[in-house]
Structure 1
Amino acid sequence: MPLIALLPGDGIGPEVVAEARRVLEALALGVTFETAPVGGAAYLVAGNSLPPETLALAKRADAVLFGAVGDPQFDALERRLRPEAAILGLRRELGLFANLRPSSLTPGLEDVSPLKPEIARGIDLLIVRELTGDVYFGEKGRRTGLGGVREGWDSMRYDEVEVERIARVGFETARRRRKKLCSVDKANVLETSQLWRDVVNEVSGDYDDVDLTHMYVDNAAMQLVRDPAQFDVIVTGNLFGDILSDQASMCAGSIGMLPSASLSSWRSSLGLYEPIHGSAPDIAGQGIANPCGTILSAAMLLDHSLDMAGAARRIEAAVAKAIADGARTADIGGTLSTSAMGDAILAAL
């Protein structure tokens, strides 16, 4: 019987994960659930944002459904103790180097996208973000420079093996969509990006059926607003992928709508699934968070980790139908509570 580890985390994480669990239970798929603390919630009870018991559960499970971590009350802690260290630790310990972040406009939400409706309707892309390298995992520190001036520094680095494996995830993903891959970098300025571009070009020789293009990250940010329909799959590094996927989510209407999957290969079984929004401590406990991103993350979980594509499509169709019928939380122009949005999706299911 498949085991799903539920790691709700902080802020609105417990609220949205609860709704995703309701949807999964309604499908009666024969899965089991175990819950463990992570992030700030774990630090409060264990003095560690990623307790050994939580990590052990994640490794033992068939898939992980993750909420969100982070709270300003922990900002004074050492960086290794902060809630955000938990998600970085999970990615590292589980070998989750590939992050898939789809972005498409759900019909009926044209009015909440900041783009013109005729442009917003064309959004149907997937960002493949490298997840365990770049400045997030490079050497970093604080020091005193000349004249006693304080400095902070972070090292951006990739080796060719790291670039090749994420490039292959990008090509394989594009091969299963519209066979268009755009590699985003900053090769005109960064040596790290020049290596990235060189390796992506080398890997492209194994994928003659995929149309490869390159784009600088500043231009990619502009093109996502000007003409998002030109993109099919984007492959990029950790930092650029973090920024561009958040931008793509708002082009599609709301960051609360979009799911993600973190995998150890394009055909991975074990994966970690989470909405791309954060913990939103300013609205935590108010019951107004949008659970759609987490519910759609559960659909990705069924698809990628449990080989239940049919159930995944049912969830996606139920979310689309609920929205088409007028169900909206505050971030997408409505008044429904988190649980009421879950009710609407369950009714559509």
Structure 2
Amino acid sequence: MKKHRIAVIPGDGIGLEVIDAGKKVLETLVESYPSVGFEFKDFDWSSKRYLEKGQYIPDGGIEELKTFDAIYFGAVGSEEVPDHISLWDLRLKICQGFDQYANVRPARVLPGVTSRLQHADKIDWVIIRENSEGEYSGNGGRVHQGLPDEVGTEVSLFTRKGIERIHRFAFDMAMSRPRKKLTLVTKSNAQRHGMVLWDEIFFEVAKDYPEVEINRELVDAVTTTMVLKPERLDVIVATNLHADIISDLAAALSGSLGIAPTANLNPSGEFPSMFEPIHGSAFDITGKGIANPIGAFWTAVMMLEHLGEQTLAERLMAAVEEVIGSGLQAPDLGGKATTREITDAVCASIREKASVAA
């Protein structure tokens, strides 16, 4: 039996609930199709741990993570810890430490989901977010703190290496899709240095992909395209900040943040990649049993694809679509189903399909 070692970091808030649900459907999947197995190891890296011990990640933790095939991550964020500490000390420390420079966020309206967008059936996008530099490089500082002339700087950092590799990744993604279309999102009319470099390298790389149809949109303009003409978009590539924002819009237009997945990829395979739903800690619903686990399930599908388990990925996605298409939906989609009810239904669908196949 082929076995994949998965590091599990539920983190904070509803992350614990949806990642537990995700583990259950993955375990059901391999029980039903026993040619593959998973070895899970849970890590208590959370804001609770930070408050108790002063660290999100213990000494040697990053080195231990290197031994795993993938990381299944829930959420980070607490009302008791400043956001910049929780984000930089956990999620970004892993992303940057493992050079997970390609953030991939697919968006489409799943069966049975009602979007507030009139032409939501036209949404079938993959947003590629540069995940290692740009606006979130951490370059900057503060001086004269607390004084009237205090100054804070946040310097966007763009390198030729970082820009070229994310553009090539995006072009390869576009090549793998039927429409072979790639939209460059930028703000080079106002940001005349790093963003102009971003644009120039895109068009340099485009020469190596003549089969891909390209277009360029400013980040403010692309939000209107997403709402008014969603059919114009397919694969989108953008900087760290810009893609962060438009991918949340994409999730909302697709129905809810609760169903959206993310992959933080180290394409070379030198380090493990990390997979997480995008909804965050959601402390307003933590512990109520109503968190939507679909985002965690779709994230697990992406993890399976990355691990080379395409057939298992398709089986899990089919079960997810069957359940959500039946109308069994969480409150964020207008339904009344609990996290457990949705999880049990997806597990039952997996078992039923495996029984029929046998």
TM-score bin, normalised by smaller chain = over 0.9
Q: How far has the Cα of 1:39 moved from its partner?
A: 3.3
Which deviations, in whole Å up to 9, do the C-alpha atoms of 1:234-289 show, x marking residues without a partner? 00100001000000000000011011111122778831000011111121111111
**Equivalent residue for 1:344?**
345
1:317 alignment partner in structure 2: 318
Query: Residue 101 of structure 2 corresponds to which residue in structure 1?
Result: 97
Match of 1:157, as an amino acid?
A: L
Superposition RMSD in Å? 1.7
- Deviation, 1:129, is 0.2
Pick from 300, 303, 320 the counterpart of residue 301 of structure 1: 303
Q: 1:31 aligns with which of 29, 32, 38?
A: 38
1:269–1:91 Cα change, 3 Å: closer
Deviates more, 1:276-285 or 1:264-273: 264-273
Amino acid at match of 2:314: R
**Aligned residues of 2:66 and 2:271 also touching (Cα < 8 A):** no
* CA distances 1:186-231 after superposition (whole Å, capped 9, x unpaired): 0101121110000000011111111111110000111111111211
Deviations 1:301-335, CA, capped at 9 Å, x for gaps: 0101x210000011111111001111100001111
Which residue identity is paired with 2:163? V
Write the distance in 2 (CA, Å) between the matches of 1:106 and 1:134. Answer: 32
Q: Which residue of 1 aligns with 2:68?
A: 61
User: What residue is the counterpart of 2:127 in the other structure?
Assistant: 127
Pick which of 15-24 and 30-39 moved more: 30-39
Contact 1:71–1:83 under 8 Å retained in 2:
no
1:72-221 paired onto structure 2 within 5 Å: 72-75=79-82, 79=84, 81-110=85-114, 113-116=115-118, 119-144=119-144, 148-177=148-177, 178-190=179-191, 191-221=193-223
Q: Identity percentage over the alignment? A: 37
Q: Is the 8 A contact 1:42 1:51 kept in 2?
A: no
User: Quick one: structure 1 residues 299 and 2, their matched pair in 2 at CA, closer, same or farther if it must change by over 3 Å?
Assistant: same
- AA aligned opposite 1:128: I
Q: Which residue of 2 aligns with 1:326?
A: 327
* 1:71 equivalent in structure 2: 78
Counterparts of 2:23 and 2:127 in 1: how far apart (Å)?
Answer: 26
CA drift at 1:84: 4.5
Amino acid at match of 1:6: V
The Cα shift of 1:91 comes to 0.5
Whole-angstrom CA distance in 2 between matches of 1:207 and 1:288: 45
* Structure 1 position 49 matched with structure 2 position 51: no
Residues in 1 aligned to 2:19 and 2:88: alpha-carbon distance in whole angstroms: 18
Looking at structure 1, the residues matched to 349 and 316 of structure 2 have their Cα atoms a distance apart, in angstroms, of 9
- Which residue identity is paired with 1:333? G
* Cα distance in 2, alignment partners of residues 166 and 65 from structure 1: 23
Which deviations, in whole Å up to 9, do the C-alpha atoms of 1:69-118 show, x marking residues without a partner? 00111129xx4x435431010011111000000000012112xx2211xx
1:213 aligned counterpart, secondary structure: strand
For residues 12 and 236 of structure 1, the distance between their equivalents in structure 2, rounded to whole angstroms, comes to: 28
Q: Residue type of the partner of 1:67?
A: G
Paired residues of 1:49 and 1:83 also in contact (CA < 8 A): no
Q: Distance in 2 between matches of 1:262 and 1:183?
A: 20
| Gapped regions of structure 1 (runs ≥ 5) | none
Q: Distance in 1 between matches of 2:200 and 2:162?
A: 13
Structure 2, unaligned runs of 5 or more? 31-35, 351-358
> Contact conserved, 1:169 with 1:266, CA < 8 A, in 2?
no
Letter in 2 for 1:62: D
Aligned residues: 340
> What SS class does the counterpart of residue 199 from structure 1 fall into?
helix
Equivalence for 2:47: 40
Cα displacement (A) at 1:121? 0.8
Moved more, 262-271 or 175-184: 262-271
Aligned partners of 1:34, 1:259: CA distance in 2, in Å?
21
Deviations 1:122-151 (A, max 9, x none): 110000000010121131222349x92333
Does the 8 Å CA contact 2:135/2:239 hold for their aligned counterparts? no
**TM-score for both structures, normalised by structure 2:** 0.91
Distance across 2 between alignment mates of 1:162 and 1:83 = 21
Moved more, 338-347 or 62-71: 338-347
